[in-house]
Amino acid sequence: MKRVVTSLLFTVLLLLAASSIIAQQASHPFTVGDLLKVRRVSDPQVSPKGDMIAYTIGDVDRNANKIITQIYVVPIGGGEARQLTNAPQSSTSPRWSPDGSRLAFISARDGGAQIWTIDISSGELKKVTEISTGAGDPIWSRDGRWLAFTSEVYPECHNDACNKQRAEAASQSKVKARLIDNLLYRHWNAWAEGKRTHLFVISSDGGEARELTPGDVDAPPIQGGAGDYAFSPDGDELAFAMNSEKQLATSTNGDIFLVSVRGGHTRPVTKSNMADDGHPVYSPDNHYIAYHAQVRPGYEADRWRLMLYDRKTTRTRPLTENVDMSVSSLVFSPDSQKIYFSALERGHQPIYSISVSGGQPVKIVDGYNDHVSLTSDGHTLVFQRSSTERADEIYTANVDGSNVRQITHTNDEFMAGFNLRPAEEVTWTGAAGAKVSGWIVKPANFNSNRHWPMLVLIHGGPQGAWNDNWGYRWNPEVFANAGYVVFTPNPRGSTGYGSRFTEDISGDWSGKVYTDIMNGVAHVISLGYVDKNRIGAAGGVSHAGVYDLTSMYGATEELWFPEWEFHGTPWTNPEMYARNSPHMFVQNFKTPLMVTHGEIDFRVPYTQGLELFTALQRQGVDSRLLFFPDEGHWILKPQNSELWYTTVLQWFDKHLK
């Protein structure tokens, strides 16, 4: 009896201690300062043996004002994670060697970004590449002989010595002028500087890198990425995406090509499709190449269909043509008979499977999931998962979707005390009787008997969505726990609700989408806990927002976007540009407005923000401008992000509290 009492007393003491720790941690609401402390788990890679998962964790270095990323491994069954890299510089893109003994990764620990390998057991490091233009996004051939990677090079150079000489000459020159002959001379937040992204291979033991995609083209294309090339199972060939058209500013026509690892002629696979094709994946039996494709040229928000190319017959057939979903994260089953993928669906991103013979996709795992992979025995899915109130962690599930299990617990202890509330889905009737959905996020201390101020976060894109996932830009929990009910509507233009719903915003930026949002606001007010006199709007309308569509057209880089949205150019369809352009309605501006913009935003050039602020000031509207000379479309540097959140919340507090 004494032992039982002692044990009970010990348990009570433990619970009291734990409660004290949580109480101390929860002594303040979740703030942007806490957001910057959340560790950023990403890029899970399951080992060939299926016993370990490699992944990355990014941590904010406030002094350096950047994210430092390191590589970790964890047993697939869960347990203690082990940090593999610890240099002052980031280590990213971990990729397993086929025998599971090493990881290739990218690091600038010795100058520019290069491929390194690390022995999993001993920690021994080896530098694989020495290319002057740097290396990115490595992948292994399945026989372990080769590593493929990308590098930005001068297309007229035929060796690394030439690239090095050109770069050094440009760096040392006192003249910084640029001579430009074609459009798309800058992209997102960087100038092209006369370079192209090319695909290379190198022996996994090191040596001289071999260029596989010479010429004045980008491979992968500018709208592509790390998943846009893959080795064949025998290691003799690569499939890759490339846009070979001359006018890249108006073309989304990426195609799949094949090339030998020895170089030489490239062979097109998808030239008959004039829209975008990408993300090629070989089946283990070498019979198929799966990839995703759009079908409407120039429409970057078109849904991605799952396509299957038969390598023997050279015929291609769609697998999801009759299913209104947009696929990503493609992976074959070991027997090559199924393909697993993720796809947006009403604010979530479930994992599906489909037979290579066709039929309806089968939903396997619900929730918001990404970076899907499969163990070599085909029994276990590995993926990254998050929600509005929980940051990304690594999960596994049986291949039938059962036994979903959280493997990493990187942020569990830190986040426990904040008691963040999950997002609540709401639905209302929008324009033309359409059903529209969105999310409500409430503060941890929410009380339905109070009347709360509300922030309506409006997503950009405009083809995009507020999903039930974690984010670091426009994090709803930071806004909610500053004392607001947060409403994130998914009006016309939102993805994950069917193609027609997404397309309904094109050419109509101020019509149905406006009604959808306003009806949603009225619906949330009707729930009884929002003060209708204290409501603020935030989102793309004031951060990196468009002001004058005509002048924006002349300075942005991806011209396919405005030409699709407004059915032509400002001189071929001026009426539509004028009808949707905010600058045409300056006389109606009365609402206090804060404008934020980054100077190296080439998507929505910063002059759009300056023009808006000028108009507000000349109209006598209470307004502020927060301008970042060292940021692009997104405010990414940690201290800048903290200033952004703090200043925006101060603005809303001033007017709504």
What does the pLDDT look like over 426-447, one tens digit per residue?
999 999 999 999 999 999 999 9
Weakest-pLDDT range from 50-54, 178-182, 281-285, 381-385: 178-182
Tokens at 608, concatenated: 């759009």
Which pLDDT score is estimated for 11?
Answer: 33
Which pLDDT score is estimated for 541?
Answer: 65
Q: What is the rounded distance in angstroms from the CA atom of residue 478 to the CA atom of residue 474?
A: 8
Q: What is the rounded distance in angstroms from the CA atom of residue 87 to the CA atom of residue 90?
A: 7
Among candidate residues 471, 512, 507, 611, the one with its CA nearest the CA of residue 555: 611
Which pLDDT score is estimated for 17?
Answer: 43
Q: Do 420-656 and 128-167+180-300 fall under one CATH topology?
A: no
Which pLDDT score is estimated for 83?
Answer: 98
The three-state DSSP-derived secondary structure of 585-650 is: HHHHCCCCEEEEEECCCCCCCCHHHHHHHHHHHHCCCCEEEEEECCCCCCCCCHHHHHHHHHHHHH
Tokens at 139, concatenated: 């992948």
Q: Are 465 and 458 in contact (CB under 8 A)?
A: no
Residue type, 30: F
Per DSSP, the three-state class of 6 is helix
Domain ranges of the chain: 128-167+180-300, 319-417, 420-656
Q: Is the pLDDT of residue 389 over 80?
A: yes
pTM (global) more than 0.95: no
Sign of CA dihedral 79, 85, 86, 89: negative
Confidence grade of residue 246 (pLDDT, cut at 50, 70, 90): confident
What is the average pLDDT score of the chain? 94
Sign of CA dihedral 134, 138, 140, 144: positive
The domain 420-656 is placed in CATH, from the list 2.40.10.10, 3.40.50.1820, 3.30.70.2190, 3.30.470.30, at 3.40.50.1820
Which pLDDT score is estimated for 634?
Answer: 94
Q: Are 240 and 280 in contact (CB under 8 A)?
A: yes
Q: What is the rounded distance in angstroms from the CA atom of residue 115 to the CA atom of residue 97?
A: 13
Confidence grade of residue 542 (pLDDT, cut at 50, 70, 90): confident
Q: What is the rounded distance in angstroms from the CA atom of residue 525 to the CA atom of residue 452?
A: 10
Which pLDDT score is estimated for 1?
Answer: 37
Confidence grade of residue 539 (pLDDT, cut at 50, 70, 90): confident
Q: What is the rounded distance in angstroms from the CA atom of residue 326 to the CA atom of residue 331?
A: 15
Tokens at 216, concatenated: 């004045």
Q: Does domain 128-167+180-300 have CATH number 2.130.10.10?
A: yes
Q: What is the rounded distance in angstroms from the CA atom of residue 55 to the CA atom of residue 45?
A: 6
Confidence grade of residue 5 (pLDDT, cut at 50, 70, 90): very low
Among candidate residues 89, 94, 86, 84, the one with its CA nearest the CA of residue 68: 89
Tokens at 528, concatenated: 């009884």
Confidence grade of residue 591 (pLDDT, cut at 50, 70, 90): very high
Tens of pLDDT, residue by residue over 553-588, are 999 999 999 999 999 999 999 999 999 999 999 999
Q: Is the pLDDT of residue 221 over 50?
A: yes
Burial class (CB in 10 A: 0-12, 13-18, 19+), 153: buried
Tens of pLDDT, residue by residue over 446-461, are 999 999 999 999 999 9
Q: Are 269 and 256 in contact (CB under 8 A)?
A: yes
So what's the architecture of 319-417 in CATH?
6 Propeller (2.120)
Tens of pLDDT, residue by residue over 492-518, are 999 999 999 999 999 999 999 999 999
Tens of pLDDT, residue by residue over 47-83, are 999 999 999 999 999 999 999 999 999 999 999 999 9
The sheet carrying 338-343 orders its strands as 327-332, 338-343, 351-355, 358-365
